Structure 1
Amino acid sequence: MSHASGRHFLQIPGPTNVPDRVLRAINRPTIDHRGPEFAVLGREILSEIRTIFKTAHPVIVYPASGSGAWEASLVNTLSPGDRVLMCETGHFAVLWQQIAARLGLEAEVLPTDWRHGADPDAVEAALRDDSAHAIKAVCIVHNETSTGVASRIGELRQAIDRAQHPALFIVDTISSLASIDYRMDEWGVDVTVAGSQKGLMLPPGLAFNAVSDKALAASRNARLPKSYWSWDDMLAANKSGFFPYTPATNLLYGLRESIRMLLAEGLERVFARHRRHAEATRLAVAAWGLEVLCANPDEHSSSLTAVLMPEGHDADRFRAVVLEAFDMSLGTGLGRLAGKIFRIGHLGSFNDLMLAGTLAGVEMGLARAKVPHERGGVAAALDHLAK
C-alpha cells in the first residue's frame, strides 16, 4: 500500500480518536496489580468514574467490550425464563436481544421503524398490561449507534413510574456516556451499561456496569449462571482498590486520564460541545439536500449523524470513495440499513476544525462519487460554528 500523508480521519461513531494525553498515559510500564501503587490507582478511578455516570452507586469495571457489559447486566439481575421488555430501536438493540435469548430469557420486543427511539407510551402500555409483574426488567439503548437516534430516558422512567411497575430499568449508554447528558440517579436507572471506546476517549477493552441498590438486591436472588461477570466478586475486591482477576492495567491508566480531562472541561460543556457539533452536521446534511435518518428532532443524537443515501446510490460505495480519496473512515449501515446510510461520528476528542475537515471530506466525496447533492454543506456548518 502507498503511504498516505497526514493523519487518518477516523469518523466512525466508535472507536473514536484517542487523545495524545490518553495515549501517553497508557504508554507506561505495567505495575503489580496486587501492589499498593495499583490500589491507589484503583480507588481513584472507582471513585471518580461515578461522576461521569452521575451516580452515587458503585461502578464495576470489566476487561471486556460493551457486549460483556450487556451480558453482565442481565446475568447479575435475572433468572432463567424471566421476561424482559426490550425496544428494537436499531441494530445494537437487536444484538442485545439476541444475548438475552441465548441466556434463556424471554424478550418481549417493542418494534420501531429504526428512525425513532423507544416510545414511552408503548412502554407504559406494555407494563400496564403486565398486571402479574412477570416482566422483570426494561432494557433500553439510550443512543442507538446504528441509527443516530437517542431515546428519551427521563421520559421512559416516568412511563415506568406511571405504570407503577417494579421492573428494573437497564440502560445501554455505550455511545452516549460522556457525550450526551445522562443522569443515572436522577432518572432512576438501575443498571447502566457502558464501554470505553466512545465518549470516554479510550481504545476498546473496558466495559462498565453502574448498579443501584435495587439492582444489587435483585442480584442476590438472580439464578442465571455467572462467574467472570459476578458483581459480588468485583465489589468485594474493589473495596480496597483491587480486582478479583488481572485487570487491564494500562487501559486503567488511560481511564484515569480521560476522567481528568472530562472533569476539567466540565460535563455540561462536554455535552454542549457535542450538541453544537451535531447541530452543525445536520445543517450541512440539509444544505446538501440529503436526509438525516432520525425522524424526531427531540431524539437527534449528539454522538453521530446517520445520513440516508439518495435512491439508487450505495452508501458503502460512497464510503469506499471517501476512504480511498481522502483517507477518512465513515460508519457503515448495519442490519436493515446496510448500503442505505452512512454515519458521521462526531464524539469524544473532537473540535471545530476536525468537524470542518470531516464535513469537507464528505462534501468532496459526494461530488467524486457522483451522488446527487447541492453544494454548501460545509459553509452552512461553518456559519453555525462561527456563531
Structure 2
Amino acid sequence: MTLHTGRHFLQIPGPTNIPDRVLRAMDMPGMDHRSAEFAELGFAVMAASQRMFRTRQPVLIYPSSGTGAWEAAIVNALSPGDKVLMAETGQFAVLWLGIAEKFRLDVDFVPGDWRRGADIGEIEARLAADREHKIKAVMAVHNETSTGCVTHPLEVRKALDRTGHPALLMVDTISGVGSQEYEHDAWGIDVSVGGSQKALMLPPGLGFNAVSEKALAAAKANPSMRSYWDWHEVIAFNKVGTWPYTPAVNLLYGLKEAIAMLEEEGLDNVFARHRRHGAATRAAVKAWGLETQCQDPHAYSPALTGVRVPEGHDADHFRKVVLDHFDMSLGTGLNKVKGKVFRIGHIGHFNDLMLMGTLSGIEMGLDLANVPHRSGGVLAAMDVLKGRDVASRPKAAVA
C-alpha cells in the first residue's frame, strides 16, 4: 500500500469536496427537531433552497439520496400505467428509466448515443404526434453526470409550449443546480429533482423536489399510494418549520452554510467559475489529442468533462495509475462507456489551482499508464485560465 501525504484529490463529479466551513457547520450537538430553535433552521433552509432553485414554490427536502428524490417525483405526480417521455442521454437517464419502469409507467424512451444532450426535435415530434395527450410527463436529465452533456430545460419547455402539450416537465438537476443557471419558475419546470452531494458541496443525504402548482394539483388528484415521499404531508409540516419524520438535522446545518457560501460568491460568479474550469479542462483534453465524451459544444457541461481513452487502452487502468501515484480519484465510466471514459469533476468547492493540480496529475498519469497523447494539456488549460489564446501555442508531438 502506497503511503500518501497531503490531502486526497477527490475529482469525481460527486460526491464533491466539502468546504471546511460546511464541515464545521455540521459539527453540532443533537437537538430537538420539534423545538422552536429547530424551526428557525428549518425555515432558513427552506427559503435558501427556494433561492437556489429560483422558485417561490415549495422545495421539499428529504433525508435521502437523489435517487429518493427521483422516486418522490414519480410517486407523487404519476400513477402506474401513465405514459411518460424520456431521453437516453447517459447512465442517469437510464437509472431514472429503471425507477419509472418499476412503478409500471409506460415509458417512451428516445434513444441516444451518450455524446450529446437530448434530441429536442425528436421530443417535440413525439409530443406533436400525441394528439390525445396520453403523455403525462416529459422527464429530462439537465446535467448528465455520466457523460458531461447538458440538456437545456428551457428548450424542452419550449417544445412543450410549441406543441401546446399539457404534460408535466420533470427535470433531474442533481448536478446542475448550483453549477449552472437554473430557473424553476421562469422556465416553467413542474418538478425539479436535486441532491446535496454535487454543486451544493455537502455529503450525500439530502434530496430535493421543487414543485409547481400544476405538479401539486396532479399529486392531489393522484390516487397512488405513498407515505414517506408525500408532498402534501411534508408541506403541511414545513409550515411550522419541521418535517413529518426525523430530518437530517446536521446536514441541514451544512446546507444553510453551503448556500451562504454560494451566495457570498454570487451565483453568477459561481456559474462563470464553473464555465471557466470547463473550458480550461476541454482545452487540456484537446491539447492532449484526446476526445471529450460530449461531442456537441452546445451541450458541454461546466460541471465535469468526460474523456475517452484511445482504443486498446483501459480508462479504469489509467484511473488506478493516477490513484496509486498521485492519490487522486477520477470518475469511472459507467455502463456502456465503462473502461472507455474517465470523468474529471470540476464542480462545487473548487478553484484554479485545484484544477491545475488535477490536470497535472492526469498528464503525468497518461505518461505513466502509456496512454498515447501529446504533452502540453496543462499549459493549454493555464492559458485559458489566464485569458490567453490557446491556438497560438505550438502543438507538441504525440508520445
What TM-score, normalized to structure 2?
0.96
1:311 is paired with a residue whose SS is coil
Aligned letter for 1:300? Y
1:76 is paired with a residue whose SS is helix
Aligned letter for 1:124? E
The equivalent of 1:350 in structure 2 is 350
The equivalent of 1:217 in structure 2 is 217
2:245 is paired with a residue whose SS is coil
The equivalent of 1:42 in structure 2 is 42
The equivalent of 1:320 in structure 2 is 320
Query: What is the rounded CA distance, in whole Å, between the counterparts of 1:80 and 1:206 in structure 2?
Result: 26
What TM-score, normalized to structure 1?
0.99
1:243 is paired with a residue whose SS is coil
Map 1:230-241 to 2 at 5 A: 230-241=230-241
The equivalent of 2:296 in structure 1 is 296
TM-superposed CA distance for 1:94, in Å, is 0.4
1:105 aligns with 2:102: no
Map 1:241-280 to 2 at 5 A: 241-280=241-280
Q: Is the 8 A contact 1:277 1:302 kept in 2?
A: yes
Q: Is the 8 A contact 2:85 2:108 kept in 1?
A: yes
2:221 is paired with a residue whose SS is coil
Map 1:159-198 to 2 at 5 A: 159-198=159-198
Q: Is the 8 A contact 1:78 1:223 kept in 2?
A: no
Task: Give deviations 1:34-56, integer Å, cap 9, x for gaps.
Answer: 11110000011111211100111
1:301 is paired with a residue whose SS is coil
Aligned letter for 1:258? A
2:154 is paired with a residue whose SS is helix
Please say which of residues 135-144 and 1-10 is displaced more in the overlay: 1-10
The equivalent of 1:149 in structure 2 is 149
Please say which of residues 64-73 and 115-124 is displaced more in the overlay: 115-124
The equivalent of 2:26 in structure 1 is 26
Query: What is the rounded CA distance, in whole Å, between the counterparts of 2:240 and 2:47 in structure 1?
Result: 12
Aligned letter for 1:368? L
How many pairs are equivalent?
Answer: 387
Q: Is the 8 A contact 1:332 1:343 kept in 2?
A: yes
Distance 1:51 1:248, change over 3 A: same
TM-superposed CA distance for 1:115, in Å, is 0.4
Map 1:53-202 to 2 at 5 A: 53-202=53-202
The equivalent of 2:8 in structure 1 is 8
TM-superposed CA distance for 1:58, in Å, is 0.6
Query: What is the rounded CA distance, in whole Å, between the counterparts of 2:224 and 2:335 in structure 1?
Result: 29
Task: Give deviations 1:207-243, integer Å, cap 9, x for gaps.
Answer: 0000000000100111332111000110000011101
TM-superposed CA distance for 1:80, in Å, is 1.4
Task: Give deviations 1:264-283, integer Å, cap 9, x for gaps.
Answer: 11111100000000000000
2:6 is paired with a residue whose SS is coil
Q: Is the 8 A contact 1:80 1:223 kept in 2?
A: no
1:306 is paired with a residue whose SS is strand
* Gap runs ≥5 in structure 1: none
TM-superposed CA distance for 1:352, in Å, is 0.2
Task: Give deviations 1:302-339, integer Å, cap 9, x for gaps.
Answer: 00000010111000000000000000000000010000
The equivalent of 1:338 in structure 2 is 338
Task: Give deviations 1:52-77, integer Å, cap 9, x for gaps.
Answer: 00111110000000000000001000
Identity, % of aligned positions: 60
TM-superposed CA distance for 1:2, in Å, is 4.7
Q: Is the 8 A contact 2:2 2:324 kept in 1?
A: no
Aligned letter for 1:302? P
